[in-house]
Amino acid sequence: MNEKIYQMINQQVFPSAFCPGCGHGILMNAILRAIAELEMEMKDMLFVSGIGCAAWIPSPHFKADTLHTLHGRAIAYATGAKLYNPKLKVMIVSGDGDLSAIGGNHLIHAARRNMDMTVVCANNGIYGMTGGQVASTTPLGSRTSTTPKGNQEPPFDLCKLVEAAGGTFVARQPVVTPIPLTRTLKKAIVHKGFSFVDVLSPCPTQFGRRNAFRTPYDMLTYLKNTCVSVEKAKSTAPDEIKGKILVGEFVGGKGGEA
Amino acid sequence: MEKKQKKKARIEINQKWCKGCYICLETCSKKVFEKSVEVSEKGFFPVIVARPEDCTSCLQCEMLCPDLAINVKKGE
Amino acid sequence: MALQLKKVKSSLSPGWYFMQGDEAAAEGAIAAGCRFYAGYPITPSSEVMVHMVKRLAEVNGVFIQMEDEIGSIGALIGASWAGAKVLTATAGPGISLMTEGIGYAVITETPCVIIDVQRAGPSTGQATRPGQGDVMQVKWGAHGDNEIVALAPWSVQEMYELTIKAFNFAERFRVPAFLLADEGVGHLRETLVIHEEVEIFDRLKKRGEPPFGTEDPTGVPPMPAFGEGENLLITGSTHDERGFRKTADPGTHAKLTERLVRKVRDYKNEVIQTESYFMEDAEFGVVSFGFTARAAIQAVKTLRKEGLKVGMLRLVSIWPFADEAVAEMGRKCKAIYVPEMNRGQIAGEIRKYTSQPIIPIPKTNGEVFEPAEIVEAIRRNMI
């Protein structure tokens, strides 16, 4: 079923740079599928990314205009391009640290402006490329190379952050459920205004090995068991939701205002 | 009543792109995949399609492969 | 290729205007074809931005005030690759913030114009007072080797004309080009003469050609834009001529870094611009630039009246540096005096090109030079 997708990539750069079992590879797969199912053309897109493993999702894998920028700055660069050529369909694909730590300021201002762009945050809760340091999204207690005894800082809820800043389509999906993920990505792409998707995408190499996940599949299983959709959460007792991760479309999807 | 000949799903694994993460193998509810007994030149046991006749074309393997290494041609 | 300029109508009706330097620079940008501005307010450059809001609306351009300078340089680069001629204006602290982005523009060969209305630094310094302390920063601020273009206006007329030139050089060489103004000339109000036409340069475009490498002797590849079907691969990592990252190949890194430097250095004579005054029989020389040169030329005239055979070289371009012109002055003159509103940055650069005595005349009290100060300093340091 991937025939269309193979036309959308630079095949000569595969096998990809991602580690075996990297969640970002699954996300790359889903983004391409979303664009293909929407019957959109890669030539109408502009993909902008920062620095980090997630930033490699579009660059160099996508056969399209790609802009691989500086750490944290993808959204600023995308803003310039979109304003000058509004016909471009702009998608930013970058990591959680890149978008919400060093890049946090650009994220909240683009959301405040409700700029017509889609931000796909490949969220693995760690700085993978540089050796597994703690990030602004690392869960409390998790081990990273700079929190060997367990992270003491509470993480961002990126969806609440972007919603508060003014984003008009805000959602979260894990890579383990590719069909809801693709569906949400399609809505985000089509949405007019600032859309943000927090994609839970595991890093087996840096996060998994430090936190007792032996295989990529174990990390996907953890996500499957921990994520609860917004709809399901409505009819579930509060103490059963404790410790779970809420996923779904919070703003601008089924559950929110456009 | 005649039993229609079921068209088998064809599962192609691009062994150049596969990195042996085994997500497909562990996800597949029909146990279609297996690890080969011979180590590949990349240093892991590559995934082989052992029971294509059991495939239901759910496409989970294709969608969950981080390397776009699996292409499923649907059966009927 | 060289600088093949095309004539276009001026964006203001021909005539005499009375304008502030910052505003004149904005007019120069509009005349050069700039249709995108992204910036952040900072004294003493904010007037450029405010004037651009007004003028861009009149010419169907695009304006955004970004959340900070880092966002500004980013938006500039994004818009340049969307096909625009782009401008921002800032001061020293803003250049410091933009520096990483400037380096990105260097390696991705993104044309952009940055007006630095220099003020008294370092750091916050005296925000409303003039300085000339950023001359080294615009070239060496970003890590690595940067061949950029920087021009230093000394009048409102040059704020207009050199901004147009900055755009032309940015597009010609595919580099960030700086207008090294200062608060003195930025906030000055003076006559500006607008002629019928201006000469501008548009970036080279050739479909299908690699955007990051060329065998052309100029070393400047053509530059496509987003949405033209070229599947652009733009990255700040070392890349081959098509933009594919090659972060472990020695040959690619050597080829790229050498071409980025040579494409400007080998053609520096297209950029280098100086003006000589009283140099024919000069025994002593003065080198100055920007607002300081206004006081320096008066000082030179005063000393000439007293019988001293002194001449002046005004640096109109700062980078690439006028190495041959200062070496020539060194051959003629017994000593070279360098007044500047910093602690000797250009004096230090001149030292590279002549072994004659160089006497820096630094002034960093947040005020511009008076001609008498320069006269006095030269007299005191006669050799």
Contacts with A76 from chain C: Cβ below 8 Å = 66, 70-75, 78
CB-nearest to A217 from B22, B72, B74 is: B22
Looking at residue B9, what is its pLDDT?
Answer: 84
Cα–chain center distance at A118: 10
Residue of A nearest to C80 (CA): A81
Query: Is C185 part of a structural domain of the chain?
Result: yes
Peptide bond into B52 cis (omega under 30): no
Q: In angstroms, rounded to a whole number, what is the distance separating the alpha carbons of residues C172 and C201?
A: 7
ipTM: 0.94
Distance from CA of C4 to the nearest CA of A (A): 26
Chain B residues within 8 A of A179 when measuring between CB atoms: 63
Whether residue C191 is found in the same domain as residue C286 = no
User: Is residue C1 predicted with pLDDT exceeding 90?
Assistant: no
pLDDT by residue (tens digit) across B32-75?
999 999 998 889 999 999 999 999 999 999 999 999 999 999 76
DSSP state of B38: S
Which subunits sit against C, judged by 3+ Cβ pairs under 8 A? A
User: For C128, how many CA atoms within 13 A lie in the half-sphere containing its CB?
Assistant: 0
Digit-coded pLDDT (tens) for C84-99: 999 999 999 999 999 9
Closest Cα in chain A, distance from residue B5 (Å)? 22
Closest Cβ–Cβ partner in C70, C80, C244 for A60:
C244
CA distance C119 to C132: 7
Residue of A67, A105, A112 to mutate for C, most C C-beta atoms under 10 A:
A67
**Residue C192, pLDDT score:** 98
The last residue of one of the domains, among C200, C224, C244, is: C200
Structural Rg of chain B based on CA atoms: 13
Note whether C57 and C166 are same-domain residues: yes
The answer on C293 and C182 residing in a single domain is no
Q: How far apart are CA C71 and CA A107, in angstroms?
A: 11
pLDDT at C2: 56
Number of domains chain C contains: 2
* CB A125 within 8 Å of CB A139: yes
> Structural domains in chain A?
3-7+22-251 (3.40.50.970)
- Residues C155-172 have pLDDT tens digits of 999 999 999 999 999 999
Residue C165 lies in a domain: yes
Q: How far apart are CA C109 and CA C5, in angstroms?
A: 20
Instruction: Estimate to the nearest angstrom the gap between the alpha carbon of C42 and the chain centroid.
Output: 18
Question: Which domain-ending residue is among C200, C234, C261?
Answer: C200
C269 in a structural domain = no
- Among residues C185, C200, C198, C196, which one has the least CA distance to residue C23? C185
- What whole-number distance in Å separates Cα of residue A220 and Cα of residue A107? 28
* Candidates A71, A73, A91, A94, partner chain C, best to mutate (most C CBs within 10 A): A73
Q: Domain residues for C154?
A: 6-200
* Per-residue pLDDT of chain A in tens (258 residues, 90 and over written 9): 789 999 999 999 999 999 999 999 999 999 999 999 999 999 999 999 999 999 999 999 999 999 999 999 999 999 999 999 999 999 999 999 999 999 999 999 999 999 999 999 999 999 999 999 999 999 999 999 999 999 999 999 999 999 999 999 999 999 999 999 999 999 999 999 999 999 999 999 999 999 999 999 999 999 999 999 999 998 989 888 889 999 999 999 754 433
One domain for residues C51 and C192? yes
Is C237 within a domain? no
H or E stretch covering A172: strand A169-174
- Residue ranges per domain, chain B? 10-73
Calculate what percentage of chain C has a pLDDT beyond 90: 99
Mean pLDDT, to the nearest integer, of C74-83? Answer: 98
Beta carbons of A85 and C226 less than 8 Å apart: yes
The residue out of C174, C200, C226 marking a domain boundary is: C200
Q: Which residue has the tokens 């996060």?
A: A207
Dist CA A121 CA A200 (whole Å) = 8
C29 and C127 housed in the same domain = yes
Interface-testing mutation among C67, C109, C247, with chain A (most A C-beta atoms within 10 A): C67
Q: Is residue C145 domain-resident?
A: yes
- Which residue in A1, A14, A178 is closest to B17 by CB distance? A14
Which residue in chain B is spatially nearest to A15 when comparing CA positions? Answer: B17
Q: Give dist(CA C255, CA C249) in Å, integer.
A: 10
- Mean pLDDT across C279-301: 98
Tell me the CATH number for domain B10-73.
3.30.70.20
Q: Can you tell me the mean pLDDT for B13-29?
A: 96
**With contacts defined as CB-CB under 8 Å, which chain B residues touch A54?**
none
Do C231 and A77 lie within an 8 Å CB cutoff? no
Which residues are registered as beta bridge partners of C274?
Answer: C315
Cα–Cα separations (whole angstroms), residue A27 to A75, A162, A194, A247, C165: 19, 20, 20, 16, 46
Task: Report the percent of chain C where pLDDT is more than 70.
Answer: 99
pTM for this entry: 0.90
- Asked if residue B4 has pLDDT above 60, the reply is no
Identify the burial level of C129 via C-beta atoms within 10 angstroms of its C-beta, where 0-12 means exposed, 13-18 middle and 19 or more buried. Answer: buried
Q: A225 Cβ partners below 8 Å, 6+ apart? A: none
Q: Does C158 lie in the same domain as C292?
A: no
